[in-house]
A and B are shown apart, each in its own frame.
Chain A
Amino acid sequence: MIPLTSASTDRPDVDSADTASTLVLDKVTKRFPTGTVALTDVSLSLGPGDFVTVVGPSGCGKSTLLRLASGLEKLTSGRIDVSAASTSYVFQDATLLEWRSAARNVELVGELRGESKAERKRRAQEALDLVGLSGFESQHPRQLSGGMRMRVSLARALVAEPELALFDEPFGALDEITRLVMQTELQKLFRLKRFAGLFITHSVSEAVYLSTKVLVMSGRPGRIVGEIPVPWGYPRSPDLRHTAEFAALTGRVSHTLGEHS
């Protein structure tokens, strides 16, 4: 029997118990008016420098978890505390406004906040440079590939200078090659920006590769059945995925998933 948790030895920098938590969920339950119980008794906490991934079968309430954390849904019982000054949300689909260029899509956040035109243009450019879209500012979403659209979406999340970033299976619709590239780039961005990240996925390797901790959820009703710390620091090489340690860890996550489905 493989233990669910292991002592993390080589991670002195991050310990969510010690740092002030950015997001705390305490015994959160969500029941929809139809009677469906999406989540029961979910507790988690994360602070700056934590990148927590939640992996689980589809329909287990992972997305509901994010919608609750962001305030898009009201919880039925329990408690949610968010101490972030700014929260970003990255959707499953890039969710770009088709009539706006890449730059203007990123500027939207500043517009809604009432920033000056010069300010939001400068910040949008910075964010686009960061995600590798320099030179594509004036392209419209329909002129961009799926991966590039998702980069615009990431830039729009970064431009808000988030202390908490929520990711709802953002790479799920991308092809495998693009997906791996986007994972590598996201962890580089995380290393640079050090927000508290909560990332939903149904890909075990994605969950392990990106995170400081993997939470395993079971379906119907969704609850957390395993918590597996990931020992490696950032940045992480794409080749990390091919190491025995990585395989061992994904094996443990898969095993936990399998036990509870």
Chain B
Amino acid sequence: MTTPPMAPADTALLSEPGEAQVPAGEEDRRPWWRTALSRTVPIVGALAGIAVVWYAVSYLVLPPNQRFLLPPPHEVYGEMFGNARLMGPMTAALGRTFGVTVFGLVIAVVVGIAYAVVMSQWRYAERVLYPYAVILQTIPILALVPLIGIWLGYGFPARVVVCVIIAVFPMIANTLFGLQSATAAAHDLLTLNKATRWQRLWKLQFPAAVPSIFTGLRNAAGLAVIGAIVGDYFFQQGAVGIGGLLRVYTERLQLDALLIAVSLTALFGVLVFTVFAVLDRAIVGRWYGHVGR
């Protein structure tokens, strides 16, 4: 048998990796104002479209004696800046609703994550606990609201509870999904390295769940706004929230004020959602080391 060729006895063990590396965050760079413009134009366009339809309905569809049903935009929003007697209470109410939203969201996040963690640790716990989360989600909130009022009164705590009930489910569902998203091989890796339950949770399951938790947070934030408004729509005791004002304006047939309040709540919802969407992108992007997705 002849001696087969041997590699030179090199001490420098391995060659340079010969594979191309994907450069991080290397996208085509446009000037910032072009980016800003391309983002704003569709939004402004859509708003203009709404204004056109609105004017058309006010002036072309409604006869003058029924125009109070939908006053034209400039009359409605003119009130917004001119009428301090209207806007003072409205901004104060919005502030209170904001308080309920934040408080409810924080509780929903903490409770939702904790609930999901408990379910992820014991199969039995998931079987016992998950149905309740689903039931909470499927019972119409309107059926629960009177009960909550009777039990907890009609003030701040009851509003927060309504907010939590509406917002908690996406937190639970998304966190649980994330905690269970680690691959079987990754679990094997930890098993082979004799990881404790606690290490498995903190070094594998929880980090794997971070992107899903942010998805849950984004959805929960939107729902928390709705929950807070529904809460103060029904519970009118004490200082009134924006939902409470919606009801008052409806009862008094103050359509211009009503439209302003609706616009404000919409703006508020969009704002909260945007904050969490931006947070989501920033943090989850960094989580995976900045790769263009």
Contacts and interface: CB of A to CB of B under 8 A. Distances in A.
Interface centre among B9, B14, B20, B190 (most CB of A within 10 A): B14
Contacts of A130: 13-14
Nearest to B13: A188
Given A87-B192, A112-B195, A231-B1, A133 B17 contact: yes
A92 B191 CA distance: 16
B208 to A, nearest CB: 8
A111 interface: yes
A142 B289 contact: yes
Contacts, number: 127
Contacts of B2: 245
B199 interface: yes
A57 interface: no
Nearest to A112: B193
Contacts of B194: 112
A145 B19 contact: yes
A211 interface: no
Nearest to A130: B13
A141 B185 CA distance: 16
B204 interface: yes
B188 A91 contact: yes
A99 B185 contact: no
A236 B6 contact: yes
B288 A99 contact: yes
Contacts of B15: 132, 181, 185
Interface in B161-184: 183
B5 A239 contact: yes
Contacts of B204: 97
A237 interface: yes
B189 to A, nearest CB: 6
Interface string A168-198: 0000000000100100110011001000000
B192 A148 contact: no
B19 A147 contact: yes
B207 interface: yes
B4 A240 contact: yes
**Top 6 nearest A-B pairs by Cβ distance?**
A140-B289, A132-B14, A237-B7, A145-B19, A235-B7, A95-B185
A41 B20 CA distance: 45
B15 to A, nearest CB: 6
A89 interface: yes
17 contacts: A70-B192, A89-B188, A89-B189, A95-B189, A98-B287, A98-B288, A112-B203, A130-B14, A132-B13, A143-B22, A144-B22, A145-B21, A147-B17, A178-B19, A185-B15, A237-B5, A239-B5
A136 B21 contact: yes
A141 B208 CA distance: 14
B86 interface: no
Nearest to B2: A245
Contacts of B17: 132-133, 136, 145, 147-148, 151
B193 to A, nearest CB: 4
Contacts of B288: 98-99, 140, 142
A139 interface: yes
A188 B14 contact: yes
Contact of A10 (B1, B20, B185): B1
